[in-house]
Chains A and B, each alone.
Chain A
Amino acid sequence: MTEAWELGIAEASVLLRHRELSAAELVESVIGRLEATEDSVHAWAYVDEQGARRGALAADNSARRGEFLGPLHGIPLGVKDVIDVQGMPAEGGSLALKGRVASDDAGVVRHLRRNGGVILGKTVTHEFAFGQGTPPSKNPWGAERYAGGSSVGSGVAVAVGSASGTLGTDTGGSVRNPASVNGLVGLKATAGLIDGSGVLNVSHTLDHIGPITRSVADCAAMLQGMVGPSTPGPQEKTVLPEAMPALTRVAVDRGAWAEWGVTRDVAAVLERAVLALEELGVEIIELSLPELKMALPASLAISLSESVEHHRGLLGRSADRYLQGTRVMIETGALVPVKDVQLAREVRAYLRASLRTAMENAGIQALVSPTLPSIAPIEADMSHSLTGSTGEGSLSSALMMLSPANLTGLPGLSIPCGFAAGQPVGMHFLGREFAESDLLGIAHVYEKNTPWHAKVPVRDIVRAENARSACVEYHAGRS
């Protein structure tokens, strides 16, 4: 028998509207799952069980009056701890902000609540979303493996069922990366679509907020619940198709896969996924876009240099309470010459225009690739430097593939498309501006015709022997 915590947002929403399930039952089931898993996976920085129960009660009272606030009515959600939730700790994963409590909701959290969402708590983040250090969250597919980042807790919570959906932030892939390694759906929407206020920024130009969910339908529901009334771009609700729309065409750049160091096992999984798309009616073309390799250095120039002003004040007071790895990234940003930032902005403008033209000329809705070049590496073997070598298993190699979406502001969607060596593999769609509905439509039809989304939530989690000590060590700044 399916327990309520195992339901996706879309499934639960139908049951809630038909009064076959109450928000109180759903929230209680998710809280139970959280309590059963948290000692093993450490996805949460802060949990407000009583607040969530009050939110569920209010949702049920509204439902009894026939009032449903929106697509997320009564759904328990987690929020990455760089995004403010009123009254909850807002520490950004850092000792430097220990004790900070948000005085107001971030803009996107206001929209979630307006659409009926119940905020369960704050999920673990790499410090200030820089991806440095080793937070305590554990990959449920293998505790010794990288669990994704920087929205690590957001990915793990959805993967194990301790949240129905979560918010993350994505400056260089930090929603899509944890989605991919956890076997989930992660969306970085078009720049400007989501209200970015009330967030601890890395880079105001490249930061995006995005949902992590267990299915494409859940992602569409989250996206609808995250946008505000004055959102730019198309406003209509995404209607997910049952069959692949006519004239769906996507491109692949296999030459880039080789340059990006995509491993043979991941490439093999992607080839099977691309074949599946073709069998579903998608036309696949080969399109070479060598200019995309400029995205990583350009995005680093912009993001690292912008991070300095976001952290100058706090570093002046509490530099010793930052992880050294985070400090080094910001210090690197302080050295980036103005001319390099100018060049990076020119590259950004060029790539935005050239991608728009290339996609229009080719008649494609998306460029398809692996989300990450390899399966989740062993955490202890991994290089976390953002600027360092893009060798296998490095954080830089992940950034290389995902940064074009951040730099250009185009939407990027990652969905699960198979397994290699027992680890999830993600397929990435880079789409046209404000055309999230195209990406979600293609992904939804693919998902309905493949088994991958049913592999989550992960029900049997391998306990990590050193989970507790890892948590203490991280916050002592020893990572």
Chain B
Amino acid sequence: MSGQLTPDQRSRLIELVGEDILQEDSAAVERSFSDFQQGMAVLRADFDPQCLRAVPGGDEND
């Protein structure tokens, strides 16, 4: 997780907010997304999809 936006990511964000705004926000977005990815890495380590099959589920809010 280098933190720097890839060309594809930059392109997606330019489509969302425009190039000028992205220039202003890019450092903060890189930090925020890096933090988010750290949280997801922990989640992937913690969560075993096998667990889904071990508990009953399925109702209107699922």
Indicate if the CB atoms of B47 and A387 lie closer than 8 Å. no
Question: Is A103 interfacial (CB 8 A cutoff)?
Answer: no
- Which listed residue (B24, B32, B60) contacts A332, Cβ 8 A? B32
How many residue-residue contacts, CB under 8 A, span A and B?
Answer: 110
Indicate if the CB atoms of A385 and B25 lie closer than 8 Å. no
Question: Is A389 interfacial (CB 8 A cutoff)?
Answer: yes
- From residue B5, how far is it (CB to closest CB) to chain A in Å? 8
Indicate if the CB atoms of A334 and B36 lie closer than 8 Å. no
Indicate if the CB atoms of A387 and B35 lie closer than 8 Å. yes
- Which listed residue (B12, B32, B36, B57) contacts A349, Cβ 8 A? B57
* Residues of A that sit less than 8 Å from B by CB: 190-192, 232, 291, 293-294, 296-298, 300-301, 304, 308, 312, 315-316, 319-320, 324, 327-332, 334-336, 340, 343-344, 346-350, 352-354, 357, 385-389, 409, 433
- From residue A256, how far is it (CB to closest CB) to chain B in Å? 14
In whole angstroms, what is the CA distance A161 to B45 when docked?
A: 47
Q: Beyond A191-B61, A335-B5, A388-B32: 12 further Cβ-contacts under 8 Å?
A: A192-B60, A319-B18, A327-B25, A331-B17, A331-B22, A332-B32, A346-B47, A349-B52, A350-B47, A350-B57, A387-B35, A388-B35
Q: A324-B24, A387-B39 are in contact. Are A334 and B52 (CB under 8 A)?
A: no
- Which listed residue (B12, B31, B52) contacts A335, Cβ 8 A? B12
Indicate if the CB atoms of A340 and B40 lie closer than 8 Å. yes
If over half of B's interface residues share one DSSP class (helix, strand or loop), that class is named, otherwise mixed; here it is helix
Indicate if the CB atoms of B39 and A389 lie closer than 8 Å. no
Residues of A within 8 A of B62 (CB): 348-349, 352
Indicate if the CB atoms of A319 and B21 lie closer than 8 Å. yes
In whole angstroms, what is the CA distance A293 to B40 when docked?
A: 12
Q: A324-B24, A409-B61 are in contact. Are A331 and B36 (CB under 8 A)?
A: no
Indicate if the CB atoms of A335 and B60 lie closer than 8 Å. no
Indicate if the CB atoms of A387 and B17 lie closer than 8 Å. no
If over half of A's interface residues share one DSSP class (helix, strand or loop), that class is named, otherwise mixed; here it is helix
Q: A297: nearest residue on chain B (CB-CB)?
A: B39
Indicate if the CB atoms of A389 and B42 lie closer than 8 Å. no
In whole angstroms, what is the CA distance A388 to B35 when docked?
A: 6
In whole angstroms, what is the CA distance A328 to B24 when docked?
A: 10
Residues of B within 8 A of A294 (CB): 43, 46-47
Indicate if the CB atoms of A329 and B25 lie closer than 8 Å. no
- Which listed residue (A297, A334, A433) contacts B40, Cβ 8 A? A297
Q: A352-B61, A353-B56 are in contact. Are A334 and B47 (CB under 8 A)?
A: no
In whole angstroms, what is the CA distance A357 to B29 when docked?
A: 39
- From residue B4, how far is it (CB to closest CB) to chain A in Å? 12
- From residue A345, how far is it (CB to closest CB) to chain B in Å? 9
Q: A300-B36, A332-B33, A357-B56 are in contact. Are A192 and B61 (CB under 8 A)?
A: yes
Residues of B within 8 A of A346 (CB): 47, 49, 52
